[in-house]
Amino acid sequence: MSKNVEQLDRVVIRIAGDSGDGMQLTGDRFTQETALFGNDLATFPNFPAEIRAPQGTLAGVSSFQLHFADHDILTPGDRPDVLVAMNPAALKANLGDLPKGATLIIDTHDFTSRALARIGWTSSPLEDGTLDGFSVHALDLTQMTLDALAGSELSRKDAGRSKNMFALGLLSWMYSRPTEHTTEFITTKFAAKPDIAQANLAAFKAGYHFGETTEAFAVSYEIKPAALRSGRYRNITGNLALAYGLIAASRRAERPLFLGAYPITPASDILHELSKHKRFGVRTFQAEDEIAGIGTALGAAFGGALAVTTSSGPGIALKGEAIGLAVSLELPLVICDIQRGGPSTGLPTKTEQSDLLQAMFGRNGEAPVPIVAAQSPGDCFDAAIEACRIALTYRTPVFLLSDGYLANGSEPWQVPTTAELPDLRVANATEPNGPDGEFLPYLRDPQTLARAWAVPGTPGLEHRVGGIEKADKTGNISYDPDNHDFMVRTRQAKVDGIARSLAPLVVDDPDGDARVLVLGWGSTYGPIGAACRQVRAAGAAIAQLHLRHLNPFPDDLGEILRRYDKVVIPEMNLGQLATLIRAKYLIDALSVTQVRGLPFKADELAEMLQGAINS
């Protein structure tokens, strides 16, 4: 007899276990099937920094959260409706995030007194009332996996590693996910190890059939596809979208793409991805350190390529002098900073927005650099193209800010057509431009103040480069005080002039009568947007404005800020954008901050915003 199927409009699932239990793979596979099904979704992978933390410890817990729905959503969800905990540590680490009434699926296999004592529990939460108020399914998933693989030639230890596939099968049944693509994925991924492939397939199918046949689950659930705009979609992470954006910009600029980088979490995936695309004229160089990475990129820019370097906060600090050199040379260079918690080594696998002031001021001398920030995983594609546009058009290094939340999170992304992408072609200098037939490398375009881009080897365009101050027009070494003052002010004017190329800002103020404006940047877009929806649903008016360009600010920002009685700025730092806004516009903005290595929760922001409105 078939079981009942209950319709839901949304659900948040978190899968947690040891970092070696395959939680990220399980979450990713469930996400891919959900994307193919057509739901809107958002994900939040969360994993320890240790390569292999001790098993069964709180420090070693890895989790993957997925929010999917039949309508447009903005965040991976504040609290999971369902938690799959593969051991006691996973349960303890995540229990505090669960609302009462949430569903718990717990692998009881490792709930021994020794494992419980390791994480500070003196009694089993399965028996002492700790889980009262939750819907608990205590199952020995590991043993059921071993039973399903009893006929295989794998050792007991190796067979037990397939328990994540058993859990994936069970979840796939519970939420009516298709299975054929996961079956194909397992077969392909383990093609070189057929015994492992068969074990994972058997465990996956066993989990699915267990859901169908057991009396423990009387109901399965269905979340219908979301009504998205027509077009071709794929699920995409922020780092993948950023890499694709750089490739697209390279093709639209008709220039080869060069990446000079040193591996660093959470930016390394961009290097990994770009290294796969040599057929598109992409060249990647894994340098011996951060300074060499940006040095090679700057050399590639001098040679006429679209040059990129990637890093996170600690690496950006090392690149500081070379970024100043790029400012002085006035060459296009895109610097991708995938921010993480700091200072110093900080929190390598956790997210933060604390590099904004470093990007603004982290160089000696007056060295202005434009700053662009992405707001969602898919938006990393558009932000990358915009950063390349500015770099190429104005001959300047540009910061592109993302963070760990965007880099590893994913969402459905509508694949654009080539016709939708901007034309990024800029001309190289081909002949002398001086009045007497000489070449003047710092003779500028009157509109953009960009200097000529002369590729080495072009006859008659030989010129000097280096870090010492240049003379106006000729580029010769100059210690003249007036010339230095002029060049500093000209470079600043060039960056300030970028604001003229920016489209007018769009404020999300549905009724037009809000008195409080929420101003954000970067990855706070989703939590702020979800919080504003909650506030409006409760009957209050609130406006939202999110900035892509942080240096220079758009020309109309000041006028917009002055329309509102109160401006609230939530940030995952201690108020860096708020500091800049207060300094430039003399507005007493309310700064709302957290530095927990985690994104904001929408309901907490909504409560704070309601308080701001009421006051």
**191 and 244: one domain?**
no
Q: Specify if 338 maps to a domain.
A: yes
As a whole number of angstroms, the distance between CA 57 and CA 26 comes to 20
- What gap in Å lies between CA 427 and CA 443, rounded to an integer? 15
Q: Say which amino acid occupies 38.
A: G
pLDDT tens by residue, 133-185: 999 999 999 999 999 999 888 899 889 999 999 999 999 999 999 999 999 99
Residue 455 in any domain: the answer is no
pLDDT for residue 138? 97
CA distance 572 to 552: 21
Same domain for 525 and 604?
yes
Same domain, 193 and 257: no
Hey, what amino acid is at 17? G
pLDDT at 29 over 60: yes
Neighbours of 507 (CB within 10 A): 17
Any idea what the CATH number is for the domain that residue 93 is in? 3.40.920.10
Number of domains in the chain: 3
One-letter identity of residue 243: A
For 242-266, the pLDDT digits (tens) are 999 999 999 999 999 999 999 999 9
pTM: 0.96
Q: For residue 356, is it within any domain?
A: yes
Q: Which helix (H) or strand (E) holds 180?
A: helix 180-189
Task: Give the H/E segment covering residue 82.
Answer: strand 82-85
321 and 282 in a common domain: yes
Q: Which of 420, 439, 467 is the last residue of a domain?
A: 420
Identify the bridge partners of residue 5 per DSSP, sorted by sequence position: 220
Q: What is the rounded distance in angstroms from the CA atom of residue 386 to the CA atom of residue 560?
A: 23
What does residue 220 show for φ and ψ, rounded to 5 degrees? Answer: -110, 170
Which residue range forms the structural domain that includes residue 605? 516-614
Quick check: is 464 in a domain? no
Assess if residue 75 is contained within a domain.
Answer: yes
Return the CATH number at 538: 3.40.50.920
266-323 pLDDT, tens digit each: 999 999 999 999 999 999 999 999 999 999 999 999 999 999 999 999 999 999 999 9
User: In terms of Cα–Cα distance, which of 328, 255, 300, 303 is closest to 456?
Assistant: 303
How many C-beta atoms lie closer than 10 Å to residue 332's C-beta? 30
- Residue 468 inside a domain? The answer is no
| Element containing residue 493 per DSSP (H, E) | helix 481-496
Count of residues for the chain?
615
The answer to whether 237 and 377 have CB atoms below 8 angstroms apart is yes
Same domain for 364 and 390? yes
**Which of 10, 38, 32 shows the shortest CA–CA distance to 228?**
38
DSSP letter (8 states) at residue 341: B
Q: State the Cα–Cα distance between residues 573 and 424, nearest whole angstrom.
A: 34
Which residue type occupies 44? F
Residues 246, 154, single domain; the answer is no
Instruction: Say if residue 411 is in the same domain as residue 536.
Output: no
Pair (301, 374) in one structural domain: yes
395 and 255 belong to one structural domain: yes
Q: Domain for residue 441, yes or no?
A: no
What CATH number is associated with residue 248? Answer: 3.40.50.970
Domain end call among 223, 242, 272: 223
Retrieve residue 132's tokens.
Answer: 């009262």
Residue 150 lies in a domain: yes
Short-list 386, 395, 35, 72, CA closest to 242: 386
